[in-house]
Amino acid sequence: MKYRILFSILIILLFVNIPNSYSEGLELFTNSKVYAPAHTLQVYGKGLPEENLIIRIFAPDETIAKFDQITTNKDGSFNYGLLTWPEPSTNFPYGTYTVEVISTEQNGISQKIDVKFSSSTELLDVTVERFVNTLVFAPETAAINQPIRVFVQTTSDGLLIGNEPSELLGTTHVHLPSGTSVLLSNSFKTLHQGLYYVDYTPIEEGTHVFHVVAFSQGTTSHGSAATNVLSQDLGGISEQIIKLNSILDETSSELDTLKSEISGFGSTLDTASQKIDESTGTISTSVEFISEASSQLNSLLFPIIASIGIIVALQIAILARRR
């Protein structure tokens, strides 16, 4: 009985350790990492026996450039010429492409490989890497409590990438002057694939830094822009400057009028001064004439007064004798 139990355990262990060539799994390989025009992209690997597989190739902008469906061999292997690379164009530009194989029977599991489409196939000159670039466009100045619009552009190998901004820009935020930060990931809206915008209303004066974090195909890219928030926007300042210029123009006109009036008043003063000089000359002449007339009158009155005096003296003498 004891030996039967041991024998049964050994049988079970043997069956457990026997490799199963048809176990679930999915493998994907390519015949190269870097391709040039006219080269063939060959994909091979292994899945389940006679399993339907979906093979896709994604362009650098994450659009599907080629789509095929194949069936594996009886042993689960496959080898398929997916694409002969054409001359570069807007549909097939140089850049990093992603090859993906999807199982239709293993709960949709998939495998991916990045390959490079380039003018050269030398690995030393071309690296199979994905470069995501993020550009942020924000106004240089803004006014407090007035909404502003910030634009974001995400590219890979010069092509616009991204679809859902909440996933692509999931950790984007703005740093406030007070030192706190506000998450903006759920506020972005899509203008076009790879072009997004967010409307933000600043509530603090000072420098606001918009920090955009893009995550695509396992690659992270950062971009930032700063906006100086003032108590009022440049439009209000411009209106005040225009109003001040208008006041200065009116003041200048009034000064010109006053200057012309003062100029006329100066000529009037000159005329009056000339007339006063003429009047002074006339008065001086009149005084001279009066002085001469007074001398002549004195010469005429003196004999008369003397005669009167003599007559009075004679009458006094006569009266004295009579007494």
Listed by start position, the domains of the chain span 20-117, 132-235
Average pLDDT for runs of 10 along the chain of length 323: 49 40 72 90 92 91 88 92 88 88 89 87 59 89 92 85 84 91 88 91 92 83 91 64 76 75 65 71 70 68 74 76 65
Phi, psi for 55 (deg, rounded to 5) = -120, 125
Please state whether 57 falls in left (phi above 0), alpha (psi between -120 and 50) or beta: beta
Kindly state the helix (H) or strand (E) to which residue 183 belongs, with its residue range: strand 181-183
CATH of 132-235, one of 1.20.1070.10, 2.60.40.10, 3.40.50.1980, 1.10.8.590: 2.60.40.10
The answer to whether 159 and 60 have CB atoms below 8 angstroms apart is yes
The answer to whether 138 and 148 have CB atoms below 8 angstroms apart is yes
Is 18 strand, coil or helix? coil
Nearest CA to 98 among 108, 83, 88? 83
Alpha carbons 211 and 225: distance in angstroms, whole number: 7
The DSSP output letter for 87 is S
Helices (H), the chain: 2-17, 165-168, 234-322
Task: Give residue 118's Cα distance to chain centre.
Answer: 35
Nearest CA to 25 among 57, 54, 51, 56? 51
Task: Indicate if 132-235 has the same CATH topology as 20-117.
Answer: yes
β-pairing, 95-103 vs 52-58, is antiparallel
How far is CA 269 from each of CA 246, 258, 276, rounded to the nearest angstrom? 34, 16, 10
Phi, psi for 135 (deg, rounded to 5) = -115, 140
CA angle 305, 310, 313 (to 5 degrees): 125
What confidence score (pLDDT) does residue 21 get? 36
CATH superfamily of 20-117: Macroglobulin (MG2) domain (2.60.40.1930)
Which residues neighbour 55 within 8 Å (Cβ) at sequence distance 6 or greater? 43, 67, 68, 69, 70, 80, 82, 99, 100, 101, 102
What confidence score (pLDDT) does residue 11 get? 46
User: What is the Cα gyration radius of the chain?
Assistant: 55
